[in-house]
Each structure stands twice: as C-alpha cells, then as structure tokens.
A = this chain, B = another copy of it.
Amino acid sequence: MNAMLHTAEVLGVLAFAGSGFIEARRKRMDAVGCFTVAFITAFGGGTLRDLLLDRRPLFWVENQEYPILIFVLSLLAIPLLRYLRHALTESALEWADALGLGLFSVTGTSLAQEADMPLFVCAMMGVITGIFGGVLRDVICNEIPLVFRRSQLYATCAFAGCWVYLLLNWTDASEAVALLAGTSTTFAMRMLAVKFNWKLPA
C-alpha cells in the first residue's frame, strides 16, 4: 500500500512538473526558466499547504530526491525533446495529471485533518494542495489560471474527492480505503470530464 502511494506520488510530481516544463517551453523560456517553472508547478501546491498548516520539513525537503529528479530530467529533457514529443502524448499527460490531482488533493485533506483543522477547511486545504501548483505556473507564465477559466471540471473533481475521503473517514473506514476511494473519485471524475467535455455553467 505504502509503496503504491509513493509510486503514485512520484507519478503525480512528474505529471505536474511535465505540465510546467511544457508551458515554460511554449513561452520560450530558457533551461533555467523551464526547470524553475517545472519545480514550482510540482511543489507549489504542497509547499503552500505546508506553510498554511505550519508543517516542517516541507514535502520536497523531506523527499530531497524529488527536486533532484526534476533537475536531472530538466537537463535531459532539452536534448531529448524531439523524441519526447512522441512519448508525452496529450492523453498520457492527462492521465498522469488527473492521478496527481487526485492524490495531492486527498493527501492534502488527510494532512489537514491530522492537524485538527475544521471539516470545511480540510476540504479547502485539499483543493489548494491539488490546484495551486498549476495556478502558480499560470501566474508566472502571465496567463489567467487555467483552473479558473471556463474549462472542463478540475477543482470541482478535487473538491468531490476530498469530501468522499472525509465522509469515509467519518464512518470509521480504514485510512487506506478512504485515501483510495477519494483519489479514485477525483481521478475518475476528471477523466470523465475531459472525455465528455463537462463544464460548469458560465
């Protein structure tokens, strides 16, 4: 179970970093810019959560291998970019991003609950953890954040998954079941929203 969580977390970090890297390339940033935007996208949400909850060491300080991994991948990515284009298809990125969203949101809620936050705040902390990396990416790239524009459901999926987790937790389900159900809810809902183009009313 723990190894599964860890694998999912690494996948989520990679997906978020990838979306940051690609956005930075589109804005014609240089290698340092691409690495930094990748870094901020992957760790921004978790860092904000840790600051708000006053948790130390920070998530990426505790797991020093995460920023190193992104650093090494950024170095490799630039010469390999031509080949990567075939591997990093739009849909591969969307799968990984939805997984990251689910996992980050639900673990964010779980950490907020450990810190004895009130219920609604727990759900908000989950959503913040899940979406804020992408918000910071878009702010730095000088765009209105994608999450807030009229597009397929995103934050809403995170919000739903967090409440599923909280509900199961309240019924004394085991932590593992609650985490899994919450993450799956967010993941499945996000994949369906993309597939069937679900949007909120304007």
**Chain A residues within 8 Å of B, Cβ to Cβ:** 24, 27-33, 36-37, 39, 47, 51-52, 54, 56-58, 60-61, 64, 67-68, 71, 78, 117-121, 124, 135, 139-145, 147-151, 154-156, 199-202
> Contact check: which of B27, B39, B120, B149 meets A64 at CB < 8 Å?
B120
Given that A64-B121, A124-B67, A155-B36 are contacting pairs, would A201 and B78 also be in contact in the complex, using a CB cutoff of 8 Å?
A: yes
Whether A144 lies near B147 (C-beta < 8 A) is: no
Whether B118 lies near A32 (C-beta < 8 A) is: no
List residues of chain B with CB within 8 A of the CB of A202. 28, 30
List residues of chain B with CB within 8 A of the CB of A68. 120
Whether B148 lies near A29 (C-beta < 8 A) is: yes
Whether A142 lies near B142 (C-beta < 8 A) is: yes
